[in-house]
Structure 1
Amino acid sequence: MSMVKLAVKRPVTIAMLTLAVLLFGMVSLGRIPVTLLPDLAYPTLTVRTDYPGGAPGEVEQLVSKPIEENLGTVKGLRRIESISRAGQSDVLLEFSWGSDMDMASLDVREKLDLVELPLDIEKPILLRFNPAEEPVYRLALGFNTDQAPSVTQLKRLRTYAEEDLKRQLESIEGVASVRLGGGLEDEIQVLVNERQAASLQIPMTLISQRLREENINLSGGRIEANRAEFLVRTLNQFENLDDIRSIYLTTRNNRPVLLKDIATVENSYKERDSISRVAGMEAVEVSLYKEGDANTVQVSKAIQSALRQLNDAKLIPSDYQVKPIYDQAVFISAAIAEVRDAAIMGGLLAMVIIYLFLQRVWPTIIISLAIPISIIATFNLLYGYQVSLNMMSLGGIALAVGMLVDNAIVVLENIARHQQDQTSEVAAERGTQEVAGAITASTLTTMAVFFPLVFVEGIAGQLFRDQALTVTFALAASLLVALTLIPMLSSRKKSTDNANNAAPLPYASGWRFWLKTPLYLVFRWLPLAIMTAVIAVWRLLAWLFFFVTKPVLALFNRGYNVCERAYQGLLQRSLRRAGLTLSVILLSSAACYALLPQLPVALLPNMAQGEFYVEVELQPGATIHETDQVLDQLGQVIADNPALNSAVNRYYTIAGTGSLLNAAPGQSGNQWGRLNVVMNSGADVTPVHQALRERVQRIPGVMAKFGSPELFSFASPIVIELTGYDLALLQQAAEQTAEQLGANERFTDIRVNMTDGQPELAVYFDQAKLSQYGLTSAEVSELLATKIGGRVASQFSLADRKIDILVRSQAVDRDSLRDLQQVIINPGAAREVPLQAVARVVPVIGPSEITRVDQQRTALVEANIAFGDLGAGVAEAERLLAQTQLPLTINGRIAGQNEDMQRSFTSLQFALLLAVFLVYLVMASQFESFVHPLFILFSVPLAGAGSILGLYLMGTELSIIVFIGLIMLAGIVVNNAIVLVDRINQLRSEGLDRFAAVAQAAQQRLRPILMTMLTTVLGLLPLAIGLGEGAEIRAPMAISVIAGLLFSTLLTLLFIPCLYVLIDRKQIAPTTEDAA
């Protein structure tokens, strides 16, 4: 028994299966995680190695180069880049998309084990980049007052954040970690007076040793006495600062020397690595990171609930306030809500089109049921394939919502034609089976175009996997609905008389009569009465709805009849002049393709998230307080301007790395900072940008970069790579190239990675003189590190907190070059020796960092594009680079987003050709012909021409989003041609001649073709309008599909019939006509 026959004969079975699918679909929906984007497995690894005290040149030679040489043979490695800066090496490994990153990580770890590094260099660590490792929620913990907080207040604030707030937040389900930035961290500092310590011959090492020895609790064993066992413990940990000050160090001149005799002990704070401010006021930034598989929206709600509970329980001190400054779930919820609303609106518009064409309520409802049932069934498959609900998967549902009724329309339209002279069951079965092959082929062609996406390299393949799976699942579900549920519901149409006939009352007498009669009435007549009442109410409502919409239907009928007559006349004239018609259509398409070079080109559209940032970088050597002052000046630009302040919702600044979990190579050091600006909904960002740019330009020595939070990890739009060996020549070429870009108004935010680095005081030892005093370079270097930078000798216990005890020289002994030269390097010896007696101290300035790309030294010049598209910007940069007179040993090339774009476009072009080939395979199998699928495929270039015209008129960029739309379009536009050609072949097999079959098939299939086209177009229309969050990603695809489908359908109604007539004249012999 075929599927269609089973559906007609076993309606209850089909109904129960449908209910089961709906039930499990709703259960699956509740368990599918909600995220902003699919899980993007970026094929990158970073090897980070710390080399304390190492200059960029030393880090390059001793760390970066050996690691590069060992990792260069890792399988699948496409690019290797290293960044060597003071004290740290980052080696970035970029693999081919699709690489198994788990295996790549194991391979890299094996290679790292073979790298031989100097003993004083720390072990390399391997980092995996993951865009999900951005905080999902940011809080600012500050004070309720407008007064600047004191040092004590900032220390208390940081302590509360670490000891109380952080622990409360880390216990929230779905929160993986909590990072803090800003405020002041407690530290006990022992500041040694160099002169007094030298006069008493007390070395710094002795002080650290005595601190460790005195600050200790130990177990002394057990004692049994008086029938009891006692544990002996020596409790000697420091309880207050006086305990530290009173430590005995040694004896001099028969007098005990205590720590307070040569040092000052004070409760201070650690050197700051970040300063956070909200609206100009210092605060502690609290960043919350979610677990890898956690639902972002649910985690955000849990955080908000926890904060409300803390406030209600008064666990947050009254003089503190906790403000949310960033919530990723807001954008996610808004973007997903927009996609959901677009899908609902598209479905409603599709139902309107169906009703206008069918003009009957019940058939409209039957067809419209395909939308919710197919979508809910799709949730089962999404859950099974571990696809999250994100912008792309929900976008796939919104894209498919108009196509889900296509199969049902074709089936129901054919059933209605058979019902004119057949019973409902026979019409449902025969009508469905007649078009089953055609709709299966059309569905398979649409599904087949998504298979080539597995061959797409770059982010496009990763990004659109979820969308491809969603559309495929939904279309497969709609096909099953069209082949089972639609004929089952259509076969239920019975005559009123037959429906109301009831079986006669069974004969009975006596007590059996009185027993059976009530049961018969309850079980036989009551359901019939209820059903009759429901049908009556339904018919009344349907009649009222039809009565209300009757004027609209009459107007639509008049318009459609005019269009139908016009099409029939135009078709007859076109068939008589088929060659001329084809020529006109092809020339029109060629004119559209001529617009292609004028389309702007981009990798991905920019997404407006209502937020932007300004990254600033000061001159090397700048303190974190200087960076904080610059950021504060930028914040004042907003605060002091009422117009800007009204447009800005909030702003906050971070000087230093702060709580960034995965700080990028350029986001480190005291000279780096960021101003984050969150705009009010609908506010124009341009005036704020202009005001901040003008202010930055007036601050000397500050480089700035304007940008928006990135959903994807891409290089800057314009990156010029200059390769060579000589660092001085590289820096000269980079500065020269940057000047060329800066003189061109197309480019802005120009940055050069090779600048003067941190000012250094280089100490060169005289080995001969060191040996005279019995000293070594290692001993003196360690002594200098302790006196200048300090060493943590022990920890002070306060409740369950541990506070570092730092030992270093007092500030007056380490403030200048002269102080460094006068450092005593042999404390405790009979004759004091200053550093200048055995070493030269020379001020030097080295490079800020040394970048190597594919094991060649490289200078990078980066820029943003002020106006125009990426393609035009790259062309202009290439022209400027060609005009720049670079040194002979320096080579330059354009990199950046252009490389990613070219790679993605090339693979997408291949995917498009492969999709067209797969469509041909499906159609050739369906028609058992090599010829008919070929002229059906002519609708694909027609659709491409329409897409280009639509993109040109709408001013939409040509991006990978548009390319995906074109690939999907290749599977959609052939569906109408398949239905048309399939009907032509059926009529010819019935004996009609070529021209009559073409004309009659075109007339019969005009209505379903227009219905399917309009339902798809109107289903996509809410996406194409491009309103709401994330519209920049959704709209280009919808525009390309709508324009291509409209253009292709209108021309296909003439092009395919004319082409069929011309080609069929030579290819098919009239054997079917004779047989008929």
Structure 2
Amino acid sequence: NKKLWQRITCFVMTSTNSRIKRLSLAASLLILPVVISIIAIPKLDYLPPVKRDAIDANLQFPPGSNVKTIEREIIQPMVERLKPYMDGTKEPALKNYYIFGGSFGGSLGVRVKDQDRVDELLEIVKNEILIDLPDTRVFARQGNLFGGFGGGRQVQVHLQSKDTKALQEMARQGIDWIKAAIEGANVNANPGLSMSEPEINLSPNDRNILEQGWNRRDVGRVVRTLGDGLYVGEYFNGSKRLNMILRADGWDDPDNLGDVPVVTGNGSVTPLSNLVDIQRTVGPSRLTRIDGQRTISLNVNPPKGWSLEETISVLKSQIEPKLRNIMPDDGNIQYGGSADQLDKAISVMAENFAFALVILFLLMAALFKSIKDSLLVVITIPLATVGGILALQLLNLTVFQPLDLLTMIGFIILLGLVVNNAILLVHQTRLGQQDGLERTDAIEQALTLRLRPIFMSTATSFFGMLPLLLMPGAGSVIYRGLAAVIVGGLAFSTIFTIVLLPCLLRLSKHDFFLGQNLDHGEINAVQQLPSDRVKA
């Protein structure tokens, strides 16, 4: 073993024994990792794509259907189709299932006994359990551990406009375009696109409103009191605050709404129908507003093997331009769901990473009592980063592994692991110099004494994380990315740190002068030669 450490030490000292070697080696090991990291960084995601041993389905019932009709025509057929699988007469056998629903819609959850047969169960649910349900739209997929039906990997495209018909047409076109661009994606609109729910449309009569001393806002307040109520303030009862809602009676049928008497701004009494034109029509099941704008959201669940970054990129580059071409003048497009959460997570993780670097630098400066030595330790971190990124790329050759939130945490953990090797070398080098050794001799002594502890500490962390990376099983996908980052970062940084750090420690200001061709060791050797040999 002693010969092995001596060989490695000899190789490192030989690789850094001239100014050209030191400068070229330092430049390549500092610049190349940053370039490779930027080029090879994997696609970003929010949460790991962790699947459960269950199938989840979302059901959109026919508009206007009542509970009894839903139970008779939709729920009961589903229960009868699931019964042989629950009894075990058909395979795969089920552990349990649930169904709940109402006029708003419903959900189905089915869990299989044999977890390895989840994919088979998904096909059965799609092609046997959920087919031929009258006027019902269904969306089935394998259940996710995180984030409910969307699994924390749902991108929401919010389409906004005052024109309801144009908004619904945009949504219909958007669904078709998204399914064509992202094959296998589940896309649905929320709220639904059917115009079959009874609706009362009130259009203000501006001339009559002004004659009565009011404006549109005043009429809007009156109409709200006739509906769900108007918020007028808060009441504090000594322990908590309660909202005060003003609500008026006076009508129980749409035909009677126009006859409701209203006391106007000039003190006269007039029926509501003189101030607004009332029309009975049909509309969507409900209205959704985001930032005060009427909105229809397209919920996009990417297929297996697609990261959130890829999905968002396709939506913004291919789908959004088409939607903007057909949207009304007041139209707008926003992104939400995991897309918005991903942006926030990346921002927070970047801040945490930078904060960890600053804390690490300050701690090292306090321990070494030298900003220069602290900088030497911190500057080796890019080697670990590129190792983690390359490990993720290698992992993606066999399984899908995006750069998700837990994987990003692995890079922060890596900061505290990879600096240990640099600390050992820098500290031992400074101890040797304090004992009177020349810088080159102190570096060589530090390598000889510290290589074994460095490889021992690295090996314990490396092999400790290796089972999380290699061993399959339930839940292994949660920590697989994190383990890949730590294993790759440790392996890569350890090998190159023992080359880069001695190179940086041997650098001096003379190495940066183009006219200087000899390093300190060569200058000292020349100065110690006899005068006649120097002349020769």
TM-score (norm 2): 0.71
* Aligned with 1:615 (options 40, 48, 58): 58
The answer for the alignment partner of 1:578 in structure 2 is 22
* Aligned with 2:463 (options 1002, 1018, 1022): 1018
Shift of 1:691: 3.4
Residues 405-416 of structure 1 mapped to structure 2, 5 A cutoff: none
* 1:951 paired to 2:385: no
User: Percent of counterpart pairs with the same letter?
Assistant: 23
Amino acid paired to 2:336: A
Report Cα offsets for 1:193-252 as digits up to 9, x if no partner: xxxxxxxxxxxxxxxxxxxxxxxxxxxxxxxxxxxxxxxxxxxxxxxxxxxxxxxxxxxx
* 1:673 paired to 2:106: yes
* 1:883 paired to 2:317: no
Return 5+ residue gaps in structure 1 as ranges: 1-559, 657-668, 765-819, 822-841
Amino acid paired to 1:607: V
Shift of 1:992: 0.9
Report Cα offsets for 1:991-1030 as digits up to 9, x if no partner: 1111111111011001111111111112222333354443
Amino acid paired to 1:621: G
Amino acid paired to 1:616: L
Shift of 1:623: 2.9
* 1:731 paired to 2:165: no
Shift of 1:934: 1.2
Aligned CA distance change for structure 1 residues 569 and 697 (closer, same or farther; 3 Å)? farther
* 1:923 paired to 2:364: yes
* Aligned with 2:123 (options 671, 687, 690): 690
The residue matched to 2:287 in structure 1 has which SS?
Answer: strand
Aligned CA distance change for structure 1 residues 905 and 1063 (closer, same or farther; 3 Å)? farther
Shift of 1:568: 2.5
Distance of 1:582 and 1:763 partners within structure 2: 73
- Give the conservation status (yes or no) of the 8 Å contact 1:592–1:945: yes
Aligned CA distance change for structure 1 residues 583 and 759 (closer, same or farther; 3 Å)? closer
Shift of 1:634: 4.7
Residues 472-871 of structure 1 mapped to structure 2, 5 A cutoff: 560=1, 563-576=4-17, 577-586=21-30, 589-590=33-34, 592-597=36-41, 599-628=42-71, 629-634=73-78, 645-656=90-101, 669-695=102-128, 696=130, 699=133, 701-707=135-141, 708=143, 710-712=145-147, 717-746=154-183, 748-754=185-191, 755-756=193-194, 759-760=197-198, 844-867=281-304, 868-871=306-309
Amino acid paired to 2:358: F
Superposition CA RMSD, Å: 3.4
Report Cα offsets for 1:88-130 as digits up to 9, x if no partner: xxxxxxxxxxxxxxxxxxxxxxxxxxxxxxxxxxxxxxxxxxx
The residue matched to 2:159 in structure 1 has which SS?
Answer: strand
Distance of 1:631 and 1:595 partners within structure 2: 52
The residue matched to 1:992 in structure 2 has which SS?
Answer: coil
Report Cα offsets for 1:157-203 as digits up to 9, x if no partner: xxxxxxxxxxxxxxxxxxxxxxxxxxxxxxxxxxxxxxxxxxxxxxx
- Give the conservation status (yes or no) of the 8 Å contact 2:201–2:281: no
The residue matched to 1:860 in structure 2 has which SS?
Answer: strand
Residues 980-999 of structure 1 mapped to structure 2, 5 A cutoff: 980-999=425-444
The residue matched to 2:51 in structure 1 has which SS?
Answer: coil
Shift of 1:950: 0.5
Amino acid paired to 1:886: M
The residue matched to 2:310 in structure 1 has which SS?
Answer: helix
- Give the conservation status (yes or no) of the 8 Å contact 2:196–2:283: yes
Shift of 1:966: 0.7
- Give the conservation status (yes or no) of the 8 Å contact 2:181–2:314: no
Distance of 1:999 and 1:1017 partners within structure 2: 26
- Give the conservation status (yes or no) of the 8 Å contact 1:649–1:679: yes
Shift of 1:620: 1.5
- Give the conservation status (yes or no) of the 8 Å contact 1:655–1:674: yes
Aligned CA distance change for structure 1 residues 574 and 644 (closer, same or farther; 3 Å)? farther
Aligned CA distance change for structure 1 residues 715 and 1016 (closer, same or farther; 3 Å)? closer
- Give the conservation status (yes or no) of the 8 Å contact 1:950–1:1039: yes
The answer for the alignment partner of 1:895 in structure 2 is 336
Distance of 2:345 and 2:114 partners within structure 1: 33
Report Cα offsets for 1:590-634 as digits up to 9, x if no partner: 56425434x232101022232231121112212334444434545
- Give the conservation status (yes or no) of the 8 Å contact 2:167–2:327: no
Distance of 2:109 and 2:379 partners within structure 1: 51
Select the structure with the greater relative contact order (CA < 8 A; seq sep ≥ 6). 2
Aligned CA distance change for structure 1 residues 632 and 942 (closer, same or farther; 3 Å)? farther
- Give the conservation status (yes or no) of the 8 Å contact 1:613–1:706: yes
Distance of 2:43 and 2:83 partners within structure 1: 37
* 1:940 paired to 2:377: no
Report Cα offsets for 1:536-594 as digits up to 9, x if no partner: xxxxxxxxxxxxxxxxxxxxxxxx55643441232132122323433453465256425
Report Cα offsets for 1:881-938 as digits up to 9, x if no partner: 2123222222123322111101110121121111111111111111111211112112
Aligned CA distance change for structure 1 residues 1064 and 998 (closer, same or farther; 3 Å)? farther
- Give the conservation status (yes or no) of the 8 Å contact 1:973–1:1049: yes
Amino acid paired to 2:51: A
Report Cα offsets for 1:861-885 as digits up to 9, x if no partner: 1121124111111111122121232
Distance of 2:97 and 2:442 partners within structure 1: 71
Greater C-alpha Rg = 1
Distance of 1:997 and 1:857 partners within structure 2: 72
Amino acid paired to 1:578: R
Shift of 1:745: 4.2
Return 5+ residue gaps in structure 2 as ranges: 203-253, 256-278, 513-519, 525-536
Distance of 1:736 and 1:648 partners within structure 2: 40
- Give the conservation status (yes or no) of the 8 Å contact 1:935–1:1056: yes
The residue matched to 2:52 in structure 1 has which SS?
Answer: coil
Distance of 1:750 and 1:701 partners within structure 2: 18
- Give the conservation status (yes or no) of the 8 Å contact 1:635–1:675: no
Distance of 1:758 and 1:644 partners within structure 2: 42
- Give the conservation status (yes or no) of the 8 Å contact 1:621–1:671: no
Number of positions where the alignment pairs a residue of Structure 1 with one of Structure 2: 425
The residue matched to 2:374 in structure 1 has which SS?
Answer: helix
Shift of 1:1054: 0.9
Distance of 2:416 and 2:89 partners within structure 1: 49
- Give the conservation status (yes or no) of the 8 Å contact 1:747–1:865: yes
Distance of 1:601 and 1:632 partners within structure 2: 43
Distance of 1:632 and 1:566 partners within structure 2: 77
Distance of 2:66 and 2:175 partners within structure 1: 26
Distance of 2:181 and 2:89 partners within structure 1: 28
Amino acid paired to 1:619: P
Distance of 1:919 and 1:729 partners within structure 2: 55
Residues 221-232 of structure 1 mapped to structure 2, 5 A cutoff: none
Distance of 2:313 and 2:3 partners within structure 1: 51
TM-score (norm 1): 0.37
Distance of 1:570 and 1:905 partners within structure 2: 41
Distance of 1:644 and 1:1059 partners within structure 2: 71
Amino acid paired to 2:459: L
The residue matched to 1:725 in structure 2 has which SS?
Answer: coil
Aligned CA distance change for structure 1 residues 637 and 843 (closer, same or farther; 3 Å)? farther
Distance of 2:28 and 2:85 partners within structure 1: 60
